[in-house]
Structure formats: C-alpha cells, structure tokens
Chain A
Amino acid sequence: MSYRYTIKDRVYRFNNLKDLLAKASPYRSGDVLAGVAAETYEERVAAQIALSDVPLSNFLNEAIIPYETDDVTRLIIDSHDKESFKSISHLTVGGFRDWLLSDETDCNTLYNINKGITPEMAAAVSKLMRNQDLIAAAGKCEVVTRFRNTIGLKGHFSTRLQPNHPTDDAKGIAASIIDGLLYGSGDAVIGINPATDSAVVSANLLNLMDELRQRFEIPIQTCVLNHITTTIGLMESGAPVDLCFQSIGGTELTNKSFGISLDMIEEAYQAALALNRGTIGQNVMYFETGQGSALSANAHHGADQQTCEARAYAIARKFNPLLVNTVVGFIGPEYLYDGKQIIRAALEDHFCGKLLGLPMGVDICYTNHAEADQDDMDNLLTLLGVAGCNFIMGIPGSDDIMLNYQSTSFHDALYIRKMLGLRHAPEFEQWLLKHDIIDDKGLLISNSRNHLLKAANL
C-alpha cells in the first residue's frame, strides 16, 4: 500500500510502509548510506505527517520484510497478542504518540499492552517523538528482572562491570573487577568481552569470576560474552555459566551473519534455565543490539536502521532476558555520525525496548572516528538517567583497552546516582553497605578498609 502527503502543490509519495518509515526517520548517516533516507527536510516531515495518520492496525497487515522470507517477521506476527492490542487498536501512529504521553497512561497501562505492540509500531511512533517525548514515555515504564539480584526497579540504577583485557589476562581482568567493585559497579553483571572465542580461556575466566563471587558472597551474576555456540559448549562441559550472551539483529539474514538462528537461542535458553543458577529469578539471557548491524551485514531489505533495531527486540522478548543492551555508538560514523545522532539513537532504542517490555540498558559509547567525545556521553548519560535506563557500562576510566572504544566509567555511574538519587540493585546495595564500600546515603566511603583489595592477594 502506498502513502502520500501534499505540501503546497508538492505531492510526496511513499511506496509502502517500509519506505514511509525510512523517510520519516530522523536524519542519520546509516540511512543515507543505505539510500533509504528522505532527501530533504520537507520530505522527512511530509513522511512524518503521513505516518501520523496511519492506523496501528495497518502494521499487522503490511509486513516490512515478507513473512515468507524472514523468521523475525514470522516471530513478530505469530507472537502478536490481539487481546493486549484491543485497547489501542483504534489509534493511528500519531494518536498513539499522544496516548503514550497522556496523564492517563501510566506504568500499568503500558505493561498491559506491551504484548500487543509490534516492533514496527514502536519504531513508527518513536519517529514522531522528540527526545523529550522519548524520555518521558520511557520514564513511565518499569521493567524488573531477577537472577541473583533485582534490576530495573524505579529509583534504582545498575551497571555492568566490563573489565576487558587485550589478552584476556586473568590478573589484569581481576584487577579491573576489584577496582570496579570498590566503586560500587557490577550489579547488572560482571561481563567480560573475551579477546578470543576460545572455550578454554572463557572457562578459566568464568571460574575466576565465580570463585570471586562466592568467596565474597556478592549477590551478582557473571558472564563471558562468547558466541552462543561457545556458551552452549561451556554449559555442557560444566563451566559456571550464569547468563547466556548473544548479539542479535532485526532480520533473519543479520542473525545468519552472526552465525545464529532462533532455534540456537532457544537451545541455549533451555540449557541455561536447566542449570537453575539464579537464586531469586530465572532471567538467564543477556542480549546486545545496535542500530546499523543489519546494514553492515547487507541484510536490511531496504528498511531503515532504527526499524531493524526495534525488530531485534522481538527476539529478545521471546527469551525473557535479564539484560538487553544497545551498544549505540560502537558501530561507527557511517551509521551514526556524531554525538547528536548517537544520543537520538540511544533514546529511541531505550524507549522502543522499554515499550516492548524489555529491561533496557545502554552502552553509552563512541569510537575515535565518530564526531563525538566525552561531553556527548555526559549529555546522553544524564538523559538516560532521567529516562530511567536500567543499566549502563562501567569501564575503568571510560577506556576499553580491548575493544578500543570509549564508554562510561565507574565515576560516571557515581555522578548520575548522586545527581538523580539513584540507588543500586537492593541486594547489591546491602552487600556494599556490609563491606563499608558505601554509606547509608549510597555514597562511597573514603578510606574504606578495602578488605577486598587486601584479600585479593594478586
């Protein structure tokens, strides 16, 4: 079905919903690279106006990528909950935007409809929203998940401690973990990106983290971010796997380029559940996403990168993840050129994920060839704190010496906690109090006795 809008005597035609979504997308380099972006400012707004009149129900009848050729589309359509959709089925995309922001729509309302929203609906409405709207609407959502602690409660804020090392050196990694724990980092997960996908190295790192966790009775979970097939092997061989990690994308072809399928994720999910290692919950999956991955794999089918990204969330929500992390600025300037585009994309991803019922965190980050710096990350961190983001990364001094990019530091988390009064995951907070790392106001204690540091005995 084609769409159109006339401004003065200029008629703008959009071939189909996919084209309309792409043209309505706020400007970013990746959509220009893909050749799907609006050509003028006017065309973009024309597309947004046309999109605002599209009934949400159209999204159930017109697939962005054909049902027959793409298993993500099949998952989206087959898992759509008509009952949840009922209360919003009369709305247009524009009406949905106003409904989301209205006083009557609160956390419970949103929770009750989230299975009725498809990723494309979420992507569409986000394109009509300003940054402020994305923050306000996401801020209404509360998505809580549990494994050994509770993540995502309102007023709380967690961090993934990311102690990467270029050669996976155990002592080097342990040093960064101890540093981070003493800054109160790590309640989302202690998660290592391994330099190689070697099962032996990963098993050693998993054992190292598990011993540390048990020795100090830390209520957290740990993860080595291997390819899911490696993790399945590690689980089979008895390694202490808390969470199964995988990068996912919004089209079948993208996932194929990652060397995964939905069946493979299901297998890993069942295996991780069977281990039954969570003490207070069984959210066992950790997914990472990021705009641009579909284009990068030449697997976008002409859809814009933000719509592709939202489609990845359909996969994530099938497996009840503990954490979903959009690694927003890692992919590079050909997809998100500068601080403005990175900030916008992060707010979109966080909003769309939360709306779809996911425990969204954001890797607030950039590479050195992007037109961005630490000031842009400070802005984004502050915005995401206000939006109620579940978690961010914690990296020594913002500098990931293995992946060679910059993210948020342990200090950045201290800043946002202090400014917005955000507390740790409750169980981890108790542990920090017990070990004299924070005081009852949640502030770091200077000159803490550092039992951990002494006991580490490296």
Chain B
Amino acid sequence: MSDELDKRSLWDKLKEYTSARIAIGRTGNSIPVQNSLEFKLAHAHARDAVYSKLDVEKLHHELEKHGLPIINLKSKADYREQYLQRPDLGRKIDDDAYKLLEPHKGNYDIAIIIADGLSATAINQNTSPLLDVLIPAFALAKYSLAPLCLIEQGRVAIGDDVGSILNAKLSLILIGERPGLSAADSMGAYLTYLPKPGLTDESRNCISNIRPQGLPVHLAAEKIFYLIQQSLRRQLSGVQLKDDADEKYFP
C-alpha cells in the first residue's frame, strides 16, 4: 500500500512539469473513462469554436464607443465547409465589399480589421478588451484610424485587401486562431505595412495566443503597439521588423 502511495506521489510530481496528458493510467490497454471523456470535451470545445459565428451585434455594441464607423463585410467563402476547403476564397472580400469600402477610402495610418478565422469565439471574447486598450493608445499617438471592419469567413490575407482599398499605411487584422485542445479561444493579430493583395506571411508580423490564459490583452496591446510604432517609423513589416525587434533596436 505504501508502495502504491509512493508511486502515486511520484506520478503527481511528474505531472507538475507538463500539461501533457501523462500519468493517466489504464484499464486493460485503454484510457480510463474519465480521461477519455475529458479529451472528448476538449475536442468538442474546439469543434464548436471552428463552427462558431461572429457575434456582429454584440461587437457593434461593444465597439461603438470608439466613435469609428463600423463596416460589415463578407469574404468570398459562402459557408463554413467551403471556407475550410477553399482558403483562397477566405482571403478575398466579396463583390459587395468593394461598394461598402469605396466611400470610406481615405488616408489613414492604421486600418483595424476583425475576422472570425478559425474561431469566432476567440474574436467575440477578446476583441473588445484588446481594442479598449489599443485604440486609446493609437489616439494618444495621433495615429489616424480607418473605419473598423468586421469580416465573416475571413482569412489573414483578407486584411491586406481591405487595408489597401481603404488606403491605410498599415493593416492590423485580429483573427481567431485554429483551436487546440487546450484552448479554443486564442486570437491572433497580424500587421502588414503598406498592405496590398497578394502579400504572403513573410511580409507580416504576428502576435499569437491572445486570450486570458495565454497572452493577456494588456500585454498583447503593448506588443502590438510597439510593433506598429516601429513599422510605421521604419516603413516596413515582416521578417526584417521582427529580427530587429528581437534585438530591441531603436532607430
């Protein structure tokens, strides 16, 4: 008996070092029912997040205090199954979007674009708290902001389309990341200097895992603000900007 206790405490000790599903025991050769169901629940959360919808009404309500126009847009992917199989469609805005965006064409420093990505849940939960910190900081720094754009069935590159039409120096897209078993509510933020259609990942900078249990919004906002400041000052984004930021480069 004491041997058993001894063993259990050793396993408990091992479990402290990782969130991996170790020391789960077995019944025969199989995973015991409790752990099996915990796993299923985590997967269910992830699946539900993939099929969750952007809560446009709630987001409008939360974001209107910033006093910016809010434009609702859609990508060329019409429904979720198509979105999942045709990333090319999720990267382009649909034909109506051009008409909606044209009147707002201006000369902005930053366009903020908000898209569901692979987890609308992440956007519904994290967007407003993040922008509550970020938008006042932009105002203080005297950056001019384009209207906020909410996009359904969007992928990262769609932000560059929108930023380009609005004529913004920089596009910042907030987007739901692919849900994992440990988190289904992670938001990512990507920024591109001089956004235009056809750019790829190496032209962007990314801040990932924004969520209360991951990178909390105030820290995320600091990072995003720093990168945007550097990007606008040095007139570039992507690999070069990231490298220098790592070395705490100041011009």
Residues of A within 8 A of B20 (CB): 163-165, 172, 175-176, 179, 395-397, 399, 401
> A32 CA to B46 CA in the complex, in Å?
26
The residue on A at minimum CB distance from B85 is A29
> Which of B29, B30, B182, B184 has the most C-beta atoms of chain A within 10 angstroms of its own C-beta?
B29
A-contact 0/1 string along B23-40, CB 8 Å cutoff: 110100111000100011
7 residue pairs, one from A and one from B, having the closest CB atoms: A397-B21, A172-B18, A404-B180, A414-B29, A368-B46, A179-B22, A171-B17
- Taking CB atoms, residues of chain A closer than 8 Å to B18 are 165, 169, 171-173, 175-176, 401
- B150 near A: Cβ within 8 Å? no
Flag whether A458 is at the interface (Cβ < 8 A): yes
- In the bound assembly, the distance between CA atoms of A415 and B11 in angstroms comes to 23
Determine whether the beta carbon of A458 is less than 8 Å from that of B14: yes
B29 with A175: CB separation less than 8 A: no
Is the CB–CB distance between B178 and A172 below 8 Å? no
Which residues of the other chain, A, contact B86 by a CB distance below 8 angstroms? 33, 334
Which of B17, B22, B43, B118 has most A Cβ within 10 Å?
B22
Q: Is B181 an interface residue (CB 8 A)?
A: yes
Chain B residues numbered 24-63 whose CB sits less than 8 Å from any CB in chain A: 24, 26, 29-31, 35, 39-40, 42-43, 46-47, 49-50
Q: Is the CB of A337 within 8 A of B182?
A: no
Q: For the complex, is A131 an interface residue (Cβ under 8 Å from B)?
A: no
- List B contacts of A333 (CB < 8 A): 84-85
- In the bound complex, residues from chain B placing their C-beta under 8 Å from that of A418 are 29
Tell yes or no: A42 within 8 A of B by CB.
no
Which parts of B61-92 form the interface with A (CB within 8 Å)?
Answer: 84-88
* Min C-beta distance of A34 to chain B, whole Å: 10
- Report the bound CA distance from A415 to B181 in whole Å: 23
Bound complex: CA of A444 vs CA of B26, how far in Å? 10
Q: Is B223 an interface residue (CB 8 A)?
A: no
Docked Cα-Cα span, A395 to B18, in Å, equals: 13
B85 touches A33 (CB 8 A): yes
- CB neighbours (8 Å) of B22 from chain A are 175-176, 179, 396-397
Known: A33-B88, A334-B87, A368-B50. A453 touches B31 (CB 8 A): no
Bound: A169/B16 CA distance, A: 12
B104 touches A (CB below 8 Å): no
Which residues of B in the span 193-208 have a Cβ within 8 Å of any Cβ on A? none
Q: Does B179 have its Cβ within 8 Å of any Cβ on chain A? A: yes
Q: How far is the CB of B144 from chain A (nearest CB, A)?
A: 36
**Hey, what's the 0/1 contact readout for B206-244 against A, CB within 8 Å counting as 1?**
000000000000000000000000000000000000000
Closest residue of chain A to B184 (Cβ to Cβ) is A368
Closest CB in chain A relative to B32 CB, distance in Å: 10
Alpha-carbon distance A317/B7, docked complex (angstroms):
45
**Chain B contacts for A456, CB-based, 8 A:** 14
A131 and B14 alpha carbons, distance in the complex (Å): 42
Nearest to B40 among chain A residues (CB) is: A374
Q: How far is the CB of B37 from chain A (nearest CB, A)?
A: 12
Query: Does B26 contact A411, Cβ atoms closer than 8 Å?
Result: yes
User: Which residues in B have some Cβ–Cβ distance to A below 8 Å?
Assistant: 3-4, 7, 10-11, 13-15, 17-24, 26, 29-31, 35, 39-40, 42-43, 46-47, 49-50, 84-88, 118, 178-182, 184
Q: Mark A336-364 against chain B: 1 for CB-CB distance below 8 A, else 0.
A: 01000000000000000000000000000
Contacts of A398 in B (CB 8 A): 21, 39
Question: What would 7 more interface pairs be, CB under 8 Å, given A169-B18, A333-B85, A368-B50?
Answer: A164-B20, A178-B14, A373-B43, A395-B20, A397-B39, A409-B31, A458-B17
Task: From known contacts A368-B46, A368-B47, A397-B20, infer whether A414 and B181 are also in contact, taking CB-CB under 8 Å.
Answer: no
Which of A32, A172, A450 sits near B85, CB closer than 8 Å? A32
Across the interface, which residues of B come within 8 angstroms of A169, CB to CB? Answer: 17-18
CA distance in complex: A417, B14 (Å): 27
Contact between chains at B118 and A411 (CB < 8 Å): no
Asked whether A369 is an interface residue with its Cβ less than 8 Å from the other chain, the reply is: yes
* 8 contacting pairs across A/B (C-beta < 8 A): A29-B85, A32-B85, A169-B18, A175-B14, A368-B46, A368-B184, A369-B179, A406-B181
Contacts of B31 in A (CB 8 A): 397, 409, 411
Q: Check: A367 CB closer than 8 A to any chain B CB.
A: yes
Check if B39 sits within 8 Å of A411, measured CB to CB. Answer: no
A434 at the interface (CB under 8 A from B): no
**Cβ contacts A153-193/B at 8 Å (1 or 0 each):** 00000000001110001011111101100000000000000
Q: Specify the chain A residue showing the minimal Cβ separation from B39.
A: A397
Shortest CB distance A383–B (Å): 18
Instruction: List residues of A (369-397) whose CB comes within 8 Å of B's CBs.
Output: 369, 371, 373-374, 395-397
Query: Is there a chain B Cβ closer than 8 Å to A215's Cβ?
Result: no
Min Cβ gap B175→A in Å is 13
**Contact between A367 and B178 (Cβ–Cβ < 8 Å)?**
yes
In the complex the two chains form, what is the Cα distance from A407 to B18 in whole Å? 18
Instruction: Give B88 Cβ to nearest chain A Cβ, in Å.
Output: 7
How far apart are the CA atoms of A42 and B160 in the complex, in Å? 40
B120 CB to closest chain A CB (Å) equals 13
Assess whether B85 is in contact with A334, with CB atoms less than 8 Å apart. Answer: yes
**A454: interface (CB < 8 Å):** yes
Query: Contact check: which of B17, B26, B35, B50 meets A369 at CB < 8 Å?
Result: B50
